[in-house]
Structure 1
Amino acid sequence: MQFLAKYNTLLQQSPLLTKSVTGGFMFFAGDAVVQAMEAQIAKKNQQAHQYDFRRLGIAWLMGNVFMMPLFHYNFTYALPWLVKRLPFDTSTPFRAAVGSVLIDQSVWACYILCHYLMIINVLESGSVQKGVDAIKNNFVKAMITNWQIWPAAQIINFWLIPRHYQVLWVNFVGFFWNIYLSYISHN
């Protein structure tokens, strides 16, 4: 409980910084899990494996700099504004959550997945073409997987989680999602 109280204080004092640092840690942790899995597979196949610390740094950078600021501004400002303009009644918390999920899983998820695939590949390879290829090769499969996980996670988020904790919830669910994204980006 003391951790949550401290997190709450940081969230009130510096919401963007707190969400960004948390996101960077979660992206880093997700890639660390994938690299540990890769090490186990290599060991089982009697192959050498070396941890890629640059890749871990890029994962941290993705969460901290390239993703969480977008989530912060989307959940704090853009999404509430858009939901109020939907052509159906969003006056109850559940209806507002449904509207949020519709926007989140149509426009936002497509954008953020392309954003992730492009930037992670450009940062790792220095090649925009690698980013374009990653989108071509992984987008459809990743989007289908996204739709199997995120609508349920986001209905919980937008209906039950207070707005100031919504990015934290996304980071929690996103830890497992980042494992998947890291895996498809590197295998």
Structure 2
Amino acid sequence: MSLSKPANVIYSLIGSYLYQLYYNPLKTKAITSCIIAVLGNVVSQKLSGAKQLNDDSILAYALFGFFFGGPLPHYFYTYMPLLVRHPLGILLIERLLYMPCFQALALYMLAIFEGKSHQTATNQMRKLYLPTLLANLKYLTLFQYINIKFIPPMLRVLMVNLVGFAWVIYLANKRAKASKEK
């Protein structure tokens, strides 16, 4: 019997999440993205051996996740299937148009949210954009195809965020290394 209590808590959390996702999809996706981005950044900092967490970086990832990481994919995955029905068509648009723009936005806004100047943010984005774009295309395209083809539309942003957890760790490490080189 005692083993069923953790399962009940997990089922209750999942039920609550799905309820919120149904009735408040944008808010739920924004908050979920914010939490996952923060966790990814904290894990990245811990893995890199940081003795003290960089609060500016954590705040930047939280703000980006809340204002962009949840809402933009929400609208993309809501409206793209209305324009293109075939999963390969959606994947091509996502990989060739949406993702490169989103990647540039992420690199720029993370630097801005950390309090860096426009010039510094632009320079950092120029330095990191192509390597992160190529890595994203190389490592995440299969996950995106699976997401578009097999995951129910309501859960696609959650799937993107869960895969994004590992991506945030990768991106935070790249950005930290670029900052140290300066």
- The equivalent residue for 1:60 is 62
User: What is the percent sequence identity of the aligned residues?
Assistant: 29
* Partner in structure 2 of residue 118 of structure 1: 108
Which residue matches 1:184? 174
The equivalent of 2:145 in structure 1 is 155
Say if 2:129 is the partner of 1:139.
yes
| Distance of 2:21 and 2:52 partners within structure 1 | 36
Aligned mates of 1:155, 1:66 — CA distance in 2? 21
Contact 2:29 2:70 in 1 (8 A): yes
Gaps of 5+ in 1: 43-48, 84-89, 91-95
Q: How far off its partner does 1:130 sit?
A: 1.5
CA distance in 1, matches of 2:113, 2:16: 33
| Deviation of 1:4 (Å) | 1.8
Bigger mean CA deviation after superposition, 145-154 or 24-33: 145-154
**Separation in structure 2 between the aligned mates of residue 170 and residue 56 of structure 1, nearest angstrom:** 20
Amino acid at match of 2:114: E
Q: How far apart in 1 are the matches of 2:12 and 2:115?
A: 41
Which residue in 2 is equivalent to 1:15?
Answer: 25
TM-score of the pair, normalised by structure 2: 0.87
Q: How does 1:41-56 map to 2 (within 5 A)?
A: 49-56=51-58
CA distance in 1, matches of 2:103, 2:83: 20
Q: Distance in 2 between matches of 1:132 and 1:97?
A: 34
* Equivalent-residue separation in structure 1 for 2:82 and 2:20 (angstroms): 25
- Indicate the larger mover: 138-147 or 124-133: 124-133
- Where in structure 1 do 4 or more consecutive aligned residues deviate above 3 Å? none
1:3 to 1, 10, 13: 13
Q: Give the AA of the match of 2:27.
A: L
Q: Distance in 2 between matches of 1:143 and 1:54?
A: 24
- For each residue in 1:42-95, what CA deviation from the matched residue of structure 2 results, as whole angstroms up to 9, or x when unmatched? 6xxxxxx32112321221111011221111111111x22331xxxxxx5xxxxx
**Could you tell me how far apart the structure 2 residues matched to 1:185 and 1:121 are?**
9
Amino acid at match of 2:110: I
Aligned residues: 167
Report the TM-score when normalising by structure 1: 0.85
Gaps of 5+ in 2: 1-10, 178-182
Query: Is the deviation greater in 121-130 or in 109-118?
Result: 121-130
Q: Distance in 2 between matches of 1:11 and 1:172?
A: 16
